[in-house]
Structure 1
Amino acid sequence: MSTARPLVVALALAAAAGAAFAQDAAPKREAFRVCQDPNNLPFSNTKGEGIENRIAELFAKDLGLPVTYYSFPQRMAFIRNTLRYKLPGEDFRCDVVLGVPAGFDQVSATKPYYRSTYALVFAKNGPLASLKAPADLFAMAPGARAKLRIGLYDRSPASEWLNKHGMVDQGVPYPMMSADPQQYPGEIIERDLASGKLDAAIVWGPIAGYFAKRVKSPELAVLPLSSEPGVKFDYQMAMGVRYGEREWKQQIESLIERRRPEIEAILRDYGVPLLELEPPQAAAKP
């Protein structure tokens, strides 16, 4: 979930996944209740400025419902503390997560609604100004390449990629998860790349596109990266509901199909590098 932030996927326990087969029919809904991270742009925040906030407003208008949010930092146990959170005698706090990897087994995931890829972000007037393709990075003179500082989140495809191409020493690792609630994934671009502390950053595409647009000086370039043997950069994203809520899931999937043009327009407005969705049989879980 970025992916994410940077893109982070934990394996669900089978027992937990099966515990929610409660009811099949969707109950009468009085609000479109969204589970969100309160500080996770470009996806969501408490001011309603993210991609998922925009999509929530779109869906809620279609359903004739107000939007409400239940916020919890998207660190460990996000699904357990949002979508599955329910005290005895109370209702669930929220009903849908608007950004999960396709096939994510902690939720009943919808069909994917977009596909993006990791991207290399760099200053157009910096040491990588002449870069036109990822392969150009490896063709640089050894001395110049050795001086590069490339920010990346640990345990991400970026670290695998640099290691594969003999550039692990050029990587500047950042922790995938932080206990600081004020930390957000775009800091690597908005703070450290913009200030010159880094020469480049490799992050999940939506983060790359959004924060590259926000930084006004220096002007930044976004170079989408292609998957290659041993390194997968592109992933499909879906939405998630609780297991057992078949009609609600079908309703969400119907909204995805009906509002696909508007969803794509929102994604493009945020600078998300978009790829064609994979055929259903080819879709892979990250």
Structure 2
Amino acid sequence: MILLFPRNPWPFHRATLALALALACATALPASARELRVCADPNNLPFSNSAGEGFENRIVAIVARDLGATVSYTWWAQRRGFLRHTILAGRCDLVAGLPVGIELLRPTRPYYRSTYVVVSRPNGPTIASLDDPSLARLTVGVQLAGLDAASTPPAQALARRGLTDTVRGYLLTGDYAQANPPARIVEAVARGEVDLALAWGPMAGYFAARATPRLRVDPVRPALDGPKGPMVFDIAMAVRREDEPLRREVGAALERHRTEINAILADYSVPRLDRPAEAAAP
């Protein structure tokens, strides 16, 4: 048998060693990690913030873990044009915490149902319904999405009843230089600037529970104030209409972790009108 050796064995050994190291590194490195691209507001507790402290941040993290993905956020203030500039512009693939029924997007099955609420001080005045006669004598805070005084369901309901003289509006966007602008309406109740406020439940419930003393939170009645006046909304995550596979994946993950999600919502004092134990197919 004739054995053939290169005249200079060292290049051969170096090439063999380099190949072995490359193969070892290739097997040690994880496969390309999946990315879950999410658009959210960086300054909007209890829903989300850039520090990941909101309940939507925590629920998104559960979904990402279930899908074997890492979360990549695009931060954008949640005001008019939010969807147009974010998910519809291709900056992300998923938005959490949207009401079911937005035509431009496809929602998952809802993971909770909440309502607008009446926020009042423990020993202060409150109302039984939007038809309570005492409303005419009370200073009432309402949320405004813009300069339109009838831009949220409770504001519209009061306007239909002619109750505008004692209404004080608080912009949802507010002063973005401050933390969590929507919270100003709850702080106004705590400070006595208004007698009570009509506000979206998840936000109001969170800040009311953390006020000193704790503020009272009751669902707005009636829950359906005419054909265009719902006070109750099912909340879901949403994708672009063509992203049906992602919608199904996210929906299935939400269902698998329903117990964890219910616990998170309870931690954040989210008022709920659904039964936390109920489950639905994705």
Q: Do they superpose with TM above 0.5?
A: yes
Match of 1:163 among 156, 159, 165: 159
Going from structure 1 to structure 2, the CA distance change for 1:69 and 1:76 (only over 3 Å counts) comes to same
| Inter-partner Cα distance in structure 2 for 1:80 and 1:228 | 29
Specify the alignment match of 1:76 in structure 2: 80
In structure 1, what is the Cα distance between the partners aligned to 2:86 and 2:125? 44
Distance in 2, matches of 1:36 and 1:181, equals: 17
Q: 1:139 to 1:147 in 2, by over 3 A?
A: closer
**Structure index of larger Rg:** 2
Contact 1:39 1:181 (C-alpha < 8 Å) held by counterparts: no
Say whether the 8 Å CA contact 1:119–1:223 is kept in structure 2. Answer: yes
Q: Normalising by structure 1, what TM-score?
A: 0.74
Distance 1:215 1:179, change over 3 A: closer
Structure 1 residue 139: deviation in Å?
Answer: 4.4
Matched residues in 2 for 1:243 and 1:83: separation?
11
Aligned AA for 1:37?
D
Structure-2 residue corresponding to 1:37: 41
SS in 1 for 2:87: coil
Structure 1 runs not aligned, ≥5 long: 1-27, 87-92, 278-286
Map 1:61-140 → 2, pairs under 5 A: 61-86=65-90, 93-128=91-126, 133-134=128-129, 138-140=132-134
Q: Which amino acid aligns with 1:223?
A: D
Instruction: Provide Cα deviations, 1:109-158, integer angstroms capped at 9, x if missing partner.
Output: 22222211100000012233xx5x326x7244xxxx54421100231111
| Between 160-169 and 264-273, the greater mean CA deviation after superposition | 160-169
3-state secondary structure, aligned to 1:134: coil
Q: Is the 8 A contact 2:87 2:94 kept in 1?
A: yes
Counterpart amino acid of residue 47 in structure 1: A
The answer on 1:153 being equivalent to 2:151 is no
**Cα separation, 2, equivalents of 1:237 and 1:127:** 30
Residue 62 of structure 2 corresponds to which residue in structure 1? 58
Instruction: Determine whether 1:267 maps to 2:265.
Output: yes
**Helix, strand or coil for the counterpart of 1:169?**
coil
CA, structure 1 residues 220+164, in 2 after alignment: closer, same or farther (shift >3 Å)?
same
Q: In the TM superposition, what is the alpha-carbon distance from 1:43 to its structure 2 partner?
A: 0.8
Q: Which has the higher contact order (CA 8 A, sep 6+)?
A: 1
* Aligned-partner Cα distance in 2 for 1:74–1:30: 26
Aligned to 2:280: none
Q: Give SS of 1:211's match.
A: helix
**CA distance in structure 2 between the partners assigned to 1:111 and 1:41 by the alignment:** 23
Return the offset for 1:45: 0.5
Structure 1 residue identity aligned to 2:165: D
Q: Secondary structure at the match of 2:260?
A: helix
Q: Secondary structure of the equivalent of 1:206?
A: helix
The Cα of 1:69 is off from its aligned counterpart by 1.2
Cα deviation for residue 229 of structure 1 reads: 2.8
Which SS does the other structure have where 1:237 is aligned?
strand
SS of the aligned residue for 1:74 comes to coil
**Cα pair distance change 1:175/1:228, threshold 3 Å:** same
Equivalent residues of 2:34, 2:68 under 8 A apart: no
Q: What secondary structure does 2:238 align onto?
A: strand
1:200 aligns with 2:196: yes
1:39 and 1:252 map into 2 onto residues whose CA distance is 24
Partner of 1:258: 256
> Structure 2: how far apart are the matches of 1:207 and 1:165?
25
What residue ranges of structure 2 are gaps of 5+ in the alignment?
A: 1-31, 145-150, 276-282
Deviation, structure 1 residue 227: 2.1
1:227 is the counterpart of 2:224: yes
Q: SS at the partner of 2:116?
A: strand
User: Are 1:186 and 1:211, in contact at CA under 8 Å, matched by a contact in 2?
Assistant: yes
Contact 1:37-1:72 at 8 Å conserved across structures: yes
> Which residue of structure 2 lines up, in the alignment, with residue 236 of structure 1?
234
Task: Calculate the TM-score normalised by the size of structure 2.
Answer: 0.75
Q: Secondary structure at the match of 1:66?
A: strand
RMSD: 2.3
CA distance in structure 2 between the partners assigned to 1:39 and 1:152 by the alignment? 20
| Aligned equivalents of 1:96, 1:84: Cα separation in 2 | 10
Deviation digits for residues 226-265 of structure 1 (CA, Å, limit 9, x no counterpart): 2233531011111111232221111011112211222222
